Amino acid sequence: MIRIAAVGDVHVDKDVLGRFRPALEELPDRADALLIAGDLTRHGTVDEARCFVTEFGGLGVPVVVVLGNHDHQSDQQARVTDVLTDAGITVLEGEATVLELHGHRLGIAGVKGFGGGFAGACASNFGEREMKEFVGTTEVIAQRLEAALMSVQVDALVALTHYAPVPDTLVGEPLEIYAFLGCYQLGRAIDATPAALALHGHAHHGSERGRTPGGVPVRNVAHPVIKQAYNVYQLLSDSVDSALVAN
Amino acid sequence: MSTQLDEYLEAEIQSLLTDGRIAELGITVNRREHHLVLGGEVESTQRRDAICLQINERFPDVQIVCDIGITRAQAPSEVEEIS
Ligand SMILES: [Fe+2]
Ligand SMILES: [Fe+2]
């Protein structure tokens, strides 16, 4: 059994310091790792990244994140990533990490993702150069997610994105902006792999639960959606922990 | 001339909310007959107050009602089993 805590869209700046900390101090009693689905900061500045590290760092469990669109706002995503990495936080963008937890291997592959829309209402790779660049960006990111998911051999595989891979978890948002909140290409990438769970954020007014067309459970963990410091998900419920067997 | 509570005002407020300083993409703006209602949630009371202040300063003759909430940040009491 593995328990992972997850949240997204915490948008940390000085004014948020201390708000999550009491709940985070309890996190090691409730979960084995914390995954954060992007929009860690408000404007993607180095100062805000330091605030994020103060609030979410040093938890005693591994912290794995992807960046969100807000973390790109100041064009400082490389420096933001450095601040996070220096604090021991794993930042995924087109790669995967493996955590050994209770004798199980948990694989997490992450990308920020991008918009584009969903079947029947999506942008297509056609026409103006700007449009092709937009959809081309979406397609490249989705391919990188699929490659990252396929790059690890694990007992449980989780896809972590900021943008949504399905429209199910956008319900509550205006239909007109779905194409800016996610894309079907991320869902198709996830469905091409043995992923057990897909986590995303970004859709502050969306809803919590959905599934990819291939049946993978999807959870929108944006903070305003889950309305608590983090959610906890249990994976490999039926498996026997090797630590217990050894006793 | 007083400011019209129309779609253009709504769009202008949305662009003010999403500009570099406030950077809130999740605030809703609802037009009522004589006032505007701001909704959604942000991460701190300071942030909510700054939003209302800036909109009030920019549109002094528009009556603004601020229903923006602060997202709760307590620890969860439940675990969801994924299958
Ligand atoms: Fe966000
Ligand atoms: Fe976002």
What is the tens place of the pLDDT at every residue in A157-198? Answer: 999 999 999 999 999 999 999 999 999 999 999 999 999 999
At A49 the pLDDT is 98
Taking each helix axis from N to C terminus, what angle separates A46-56 and A77-86, rounded to the nearest 10 degrees? 30
Minimum mean pLDDT among A65-69, B58-62, B78-82: which range? B58-62
Nearest chain B residue to A23 by CA: give it: B75
- Average pLDDT of the segment spanning B54-78: 94
Nearest Cα to B58, choosing from B31, B24, B22, B28? B22
In this structure, is residue B60 part of a structural domain? yes
- In B1-83 the beta strands, taken as DSSP E runs, fall at 28-31, 35-39, 41-42, 63-66, 69-70, 80-81
Nearest to B82 among A22, A196, A224 (CB): A196
In this structure, is residue B59 part of a structural domain? yes
Q: How far apart are CA A225 and CA A39, in angstroms?
A: 14
Taking each helix axis from N to C terminus, what angle separates B7-17 and B45-58, rounded to the nearest 10 degrees? 140
Nearest Cα to A95, choosing from A128, A57, A65, A56? A65
Q: Helix, strand, coil proportions of chain B in percent (round to 5)?
A: 30, 25, 45
Q: Say whether A30 and B76 touch across the interface (CB within 8 A).
A: yes
- Average pLDDT of the segment spanning B45-58: 92
- Average pLDDT of the segment spanning B12-22: 86
Phi-psi domain of A204 (left: phi exceeds 0; alpha: psi -120 through 50; beta: other):
alpha
At A244 the pLDDT is 56
Check CB contact of A20 with chain B, cutoff 8 Å: yes
- Average pLDDT of the segment spanning B47-75: 93
pTM above 0.90, yes or no: yes
Res. B2: pLDDT tops 80: no
Residue for token pair 């900061």: A41
Residue B34: which pLDDT band, with cuts at 50, 70 and 90? confident
Domain coverage including residue B26: 7-70
Across chain A, mean pLDDT equals: 96
Nearest chain B residue to A235 by CA: give it: B82
In this structure, is residue B79 part of a structural domain? no
Res. A247: pLDDT tops 50: no
Tally of structural domains, chain B: 1
- Average pLDDT of the segment spanning A20-27: 98
User: Percent of chain A scored above 70 by pLDDT?
Assistant: 97
Name residue A105's beta-bridge partners: A100
- Average pLDDT of the segment spanning B11-28: 87
Tell me whether strands A2-7 and A33-37 are parallel, antiparallel or unpaired: parallel
Of the listed ligands, the closest to the CA of A67 is: 2
Superfamily of domain A2-246: Metallo-dependent phosphatases (3.60.21.10)
Nearest Cα to A165, choosing from A122, A126, A103? A122
At A241 the pLDDT is 67
In this structure, is residue B83 part of a structural domain? no
Angle at B58 between CA A181 and CA B3, to 5 degrees: 95
In this structure, is residue B11 part of a structural domain? yes
In this structure, is residue B75 part of a structural domain? no
Residue B18: which pLDDT band, with cuts at 50, 70 and 90? confident
Taking the centre of ligand 1 as the mean of its atom positions, its distance from the CA of residue B33, in whole angstroms, is 31
At A238 the pLDDT is 84
ipTM above threshold 0.95: no
Mention every residue, 6+ apart, whose C-beta is less than 8 A from residue A93.
A66, A67, A81, A110, A111, A112, A144
